[in-house]
Structures are given as C-alpha cells and as structure tokens.
Amino acid sequence: MEQRITQMMERYLSIVDVYFPEIHLTDIIEVMILTFLIYQIMIWIKNTKAWMLLKGIIVLAVFILVAAIFKMHTILFVARNSVTVMATAAIVVFQPELRRALEKLGERKFLTSVVPFETNRERVRFSEETMDSMIDAAFSMGAVKTGALIVVEQAIRLTEYESTGIRLDCIVSRQVLINIFEHNTPLHDGAIIVRGDRIVSATCYLPLSDNMGLSKDLGTRHRAAVGMSEVSDALVIAVSEETGAVSVASGGQLYRNISREELKDKLTAIQNKKTDTNKLIAMWKGRHSHEEKTDE
C-alpha cells in the first residue's frame, strides 16, 4: 500500500514538474542571520533620516514594478541606469548615519568577546569624591539655572572630541565645575570631558543627535548629550539653562529631570562596570597561569 502511494506521488510530481529543494542546516542559519540583520537595520533607520529614504525607495520600487508589469521600456531603462548613481548619492548623503551604524557594530559585546581589540587597556575609574563633586555641582548649577554639559568617559576614548576643546587636566571638584560653566566665563560654552578623577578638556564640541523620536522642546545641549551617548559608551550629564533640571544621556537614551539619588545610581553603575571585555583571552590567561603552576 505504501509503495503504491509513493509511486502515485512520484508520477504526480513528474507531471506537474514541482521541484522541492533540499533544506540544509546552513540554509536555516543563513535565514536566521538575514532575518536578524534586516530586523536590526529596520530598528536603526526607524528614528533617523534614513527612514525617509526607505520610504522613497519603496515608492520607487512600486513605480518600477508597475512599469515592469506594463512593459514600459523607457522607464525601466532609466531605472536600470540610475541605480549606481542613486546608491552613490545615498552613501554620500547618509555618511554620518552609516558611520554611526558601523561604530555601533564595533561596540557589540559579542564581537569584543571573540576579537581581542584593546584588551590591555583599562578604563580609568573615578573615585567616590569625584562622583559626589559632579552630583553636587550639577544640582547646585541647576538651582541657579546655569547650563552645563559633563561627559564622563568610560571604555571608549574620546580623544577625537577632546581635541575640539581646550586642554585643562585638572582635578574634578565642585568649585571647578561651577566656575567652568559660570555665565560669561571663557570656558562656559560646550562640554567638559571627565576621565577618571580629572577634567581633561573643556569647551568641547559634541555630535548632535538626529533621533526623530526626541522631544521637540529639547535644545542643542540635550541633543548633544544624546548624540554623544549614541557614538560612545560615555554617560553625559546635562543641566538645563531654562528649567534647571538635571538629565542624563546614556546609550542613546535621555533620562530627563532625574533626582540626586537617581544620578548617583547611574554614576555608581558605570563606576562598578566590569572592564574585562575579552572573556576568551581572560580564560586563556587563567588557564596558562594554572599550567605554569602545575609545571612548577
């Protein structure tokens, strides 16, 4: 009975000429990777100017599809010869967004856990005294509505942005921070960069965020704070000159009008963050030292 059913199925498939390709494990993995990449790209472009570009591409694709259905050869000819020019133009226009996407890819933890990039570089930690000084200064300036922008560097060095300002290299203290951002002083414009317990630079220019999901009432200071947190792992403290509210930007997110306790929690979290970014090399080092002890 089973053989007859099998023969009938084989005859039927030979008549309709249906082809069922074999599915291998690598095919499933490829589908999963492509699905993940497409999903990540959609999330990335949703809140950027590239979202409008995607909408335009979809509209053009619909027109080209209609032209192909009705065999409009002239339109198809123009479309085929414009693809290269349009791709080049998109790369030039959206160069900042593409650069930011590649930077984010390089920051992924799964990559640093395998590839030994900068494994010997230790993040400079700040002390409890420095943390208290930044908190006190931020809320003291907020009380008198003095605008401020404090960038707390973490694992990613901010040398590129440090060079846009004036080098200071001084100890972090409440008095120094307040004096820097005081109105009508030479250093009050721009941001300061804190590395460990020292202020390394002031009047620094930061990249502005083009996140379309941000509130329209945010000024340049807060957009710069979010932009800095998008291109690095830095934590940025922003004090509003209009309202005196203290906000924190981290990981591309802005936490507005936070309390003193909330700011201390966020600073404590980055202070206690682990700095070993390459687990495989750490494991190898541990194994190697163990083997040396065994040999002895």
213 and 156 housed in the same domain: yes
Phi, psi at residue 156, to the nearest 5°? Answer: -85, 120
In a domain, 122, yes or no: no
SS3 labels along 139-205? HHHHHCCCCEEEEECCCCCCHHHHCCCEEEEEECCHHHHHHHCCCCCCCCCCEEEEECCEEEEEEEC
Last residue of a domain, one of 67, 84, 112: 112
177 and 95 housed in the same domain: no
105 and 134 housed in the same domain: no
* pLDDT recorded at residue 11: 66
In a domain, 225, yes or no: yes
In a domain, 119, yes or no: no
Residues 6+ apart with CB under 8 A from 125: 196, 271
Q: For residue 221, what are the domain limits?
A: 128-271
CATH of the domain at 213: 3.40.1700.10
136 and 226 housed in the same domain: yes
261 and 224 housed in the same domain: yes
Residue 177, both tokens: 């921070």
Strands of the sheet containing 198-204, edge to edge, are 166-171, 198-204, 191-195, 148-152, 235-239, 246-250, 253-255
92 and 40 housed in the same domain: yes
pLDDT tens for the chain, 296 residues long, are 667 766 666 666 555 555 556 778 898 999 999 998 888 777 777 666 667 777 788 888 898 899 889 888 888 888 888 888 888 887 887 776 677 667 666 655 545 444 444 444 455 689 999 999 999 999 999 999 999 999 999 988 898 899 999 999 899 999 999 999 998 899 989 999 999 999 999 999 999 988 878 888 889 999 999 999 988 889 999 999 999 999 999 988 999 999 999 999 999 999 887 544 444 444 444 444 444 444 44
* pLDDT recorded at residue 110: 46
Phi, psi at residue 92, to the nearest 5°? Answer: -70, -45
* pLDDT recorded at residue 120: 46
59 and 155 housed in the same domain: no
Q: Strands 235-239, 253-255: parallel, antiparallel or unpaired by DSSP? A: unpaired
104 and 186 housed in the same domain: no
CA dist., res. 94 & res. 97, Å (int): 5
Q: Strands 191-195, 148-152: parallel, antiparallel or unpaired by DSSP? A: parallel
155 and 261 housed in the same domain: yes
In a domain, 276, yes or no: no
In a domain, 121, yes or no: no
Burial (Cβ within 10 Å: 0-12, 13-18, ≥19) of residue 55: exposed
The count of structural domains within the chain is: 2
* pLDDT recorded at residue 14: 59
170 and 89 housed in the same domain: no
